[in-house]
Structure 1
Amino acid sequence: MPEEDPQETNPELPPAPDSQEVEALGLSTVHLRLYRLLYELRDNPPTMLEIRAEIADESGSSPAQTDRRVRDLRDYFSIDTVREGRNHRYKLRGWDHDRSNGLRRALSRRTRAQVLAPQRCAQCGRTPIEHHVVLVVDHKVPRHWGGTDDLENLQPLCEDCNSGKKAFYGAYDEYTEEIKAAAEHEEPHGRIGELLKAFRGDWVPSELISVVASMKQYQDDWQKRLRELRTLGWQIDSKKKKDPTSGRFHSYYRVKHWEPWPEGSIRAEISRLERRGRQ
């Protein structure tokens, strides 16, 4: 009796690097080498430093290129970021559950047309006609952070802004699991607070807080929600830092002390404490 193929009995397992499914993706040689490494070490997941060292030895890739290629693979595969002490290990799970047979689920033509209809980059304002830029459909909340294909999570960005955004968010991929956990909180105060806690006292950029605060519903006043955490006894520092490239100032926040969440509604408890303070 022929031996049973575990890949056929459990389609959730990652496909072998030399399988027809992986070959059909048309990945580059470096992407394939990176996938093979994650596949071979899936029972003992490597850190990003180990991945960089392995890939750099063979291809001469810079750390930024290696990080980006890991993000590229997440278009097809589920790759978890697992915290181990101060390190983060990258564990290959299998096909991404939001894909079909490993192929990225394409947006419909109608959806793409709706998103790109403004014909203007939502970030820099440039247009294809006036500035000769190419617009792409961008996920406001990255897919691997739990972002959906719903219209409210899509926007038109030019290729330059889209590339810059991916690089910015990619710098925080090591916090992927913590960000996804924070996003599950029902209230914006909880999403903001859990994100600050996840960084363990490190500075969190305001842009990232804004994204996580709005993951369930848009929050144009997330700064107020953050300040309201102090009513609960939280100690939160802030600072501004000038970007040497753009000359713009960016805000950062970190939590030095936090309190357990109240039973019931956070919003209701904050309102109660504010009323008591006024009295």
Structure 2
Amino acid sequence: MASENDSSVKEFILLGLIQQPELQLPLFFLFLAIYVVSMVGNLGLIILIVLNPHLHTPMYYFLFNLSLTDLCYSSVITPKMLVSFVKQNIISHAECMTQLFFFCFFVIDECYILTAMAYDRYAAICKPLLYQITMSYKVCHLMVMGVYVIGFVGAMAHIVCMLRLTFCDGNIINHYVCDILPLLKLSCTSTAINEIVVFIVVGVNVTVPSLAIFISYTLILSNILGIRSAEGRSKAFSTCGSHVIAVSLFFGAAAFMYLKPSSASMDEDKISTIFYTIVGPMLNPVIYSVRNKDVHIALRKTIRKTMLT
């Protein structure tokens, strides 16, 4: 706690997910297991894509970046969350701002990587003859660079505005992560500018990807329905199925978080945040590998090479 004669808080206490003592240990092991699965799944997918040349395609290039984002995303949030289950979770002001920066950075990155993957599927299904030109390696690299630039700019906008605030009304953050809204509630200076920035940055980074993905899949669906062969339609649907599930999980949880009534409690915020910050990064490798023949072939080849060496 900050001393009474200190006007600015130097450290915060992350309250954590829940306060029921009897649930702390079971939840610790549950989220530890989720974190381990997320790390193994995403790291495994990254290694498979790097080691197998037949996976060096635009779709898997974007999937590589999605797994890398999820890997970093989980590491920014989950370890600190686990601490709150076993002891008082104290975080310095600098650490809190750092966590907030990377939290915002990776959330925005994920939005646009999923958008790039939707565009890739559109190009593959609707413009197959021009696919090699439309999705050349140069274009893919530029798209991914754009994703990280947008993420950096969005995260910096939040951090610059957050650093201008003074925290002196308390230092207990009712969350398991240094998120924007819980921090704004602790500020003893005006948060009007921050709220405008949140409205603009969140609005743009939700509306633009959502609209782009919606348009892409509208065109994809229209194209698929025009395919006469049932086998052709099934193959086209199968190439999009995994991405549709991942998009629905991420944007569905985010929409529930930000479009709910203002009267909703902070506990509801924390529960909904879990789905796109912790559960999503764990499920994405599963979603993209369970029914993916290319990943199965790559896994068998990698295991075979490992056993022979």
The bucket for the TM-score relative to the shorter chain is under 0.3
The structure that is strand-richer by fraction is 1
Structure with bigger RCO (C-alpha 8 Å, 6+ apart): 2
TM-score by length of 2: 0.21
TM-score by length of 1: 0.23
